[in-house]
């Protein structure tokens, strides 16, 4: 039998990332609902937002080719993008020179969400 008393006695060291995750998982929006998005939706939204923040917006074709980053197939990514667009988290913008290209960008709703998430970060 394994002695677990030493494992239980050791308190985990403070970890800012885990503190942040604990706060995020408990955070509620203005309607009192949990703020957290579905994990796959969250990942797609974060990827779009980070690329936009870096001034490297993604086209629909680029995000569909990002299977290694998003850990999903193209059809799943496409469904997630559609769901995020319908929920008001992202919008598509036609390219000024080639209207076949659709750029993905976060909406004000998404940026406000990231501001709320940012407020949960421990100092």
Topology classification of domain 38-123:
Arc Repressor Mutant, subunit A (1.10.10)
Is the whole-model pTM more than 0.85? no
> From first to last of its 123 residues, what are the pLDDT tens digits of the chain?
555 555 555 666 678 888 888 888 888 777 777 777 888 999 999 999 999 999 999 999 999 999 999 999 999 999 999 999 999 999 999 999 999 999 999 999 999 999 988 888 887
Instruction: Indicate the burial class of 114 (C-beta count within 10 angstroms; 0-12, 13-18, 19 or more).
Output: middle
pLDDT value of residue 60:
96
Q: Alpha-carbon distance 51 to 73, whole Å?
A: 19
- Angle formed at CA 82 by CA 69 and CA 74, multiple of 5 degrees: 40
């Amino acid at each position: 039998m394994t002695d677990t008393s030493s494992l239980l006695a050791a308190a985990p060291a403070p970890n800012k990332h885990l503190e942040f995750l604990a706060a995020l998982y408990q955070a509620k929006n203005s309607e009192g609902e949990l703020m957290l998005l579905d994990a796959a939706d969250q990942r797609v939204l974060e990827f779009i937002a980070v690329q936009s923040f870096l001034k490297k917006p993604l086209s629909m074709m680029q995000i569909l080719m990002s299977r290694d980053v998003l850990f999903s197939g193209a059809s799943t990514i496409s469904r997630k993008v559609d769901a995020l667009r319908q929920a008001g988290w992202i919008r598509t913008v036609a390219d000024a020179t080639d209207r076949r290209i659709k750029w993905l960008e976060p909406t004000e709703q998404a940026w406000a969400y990231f501001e709320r998430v940012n407020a949960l970060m421990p100092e």
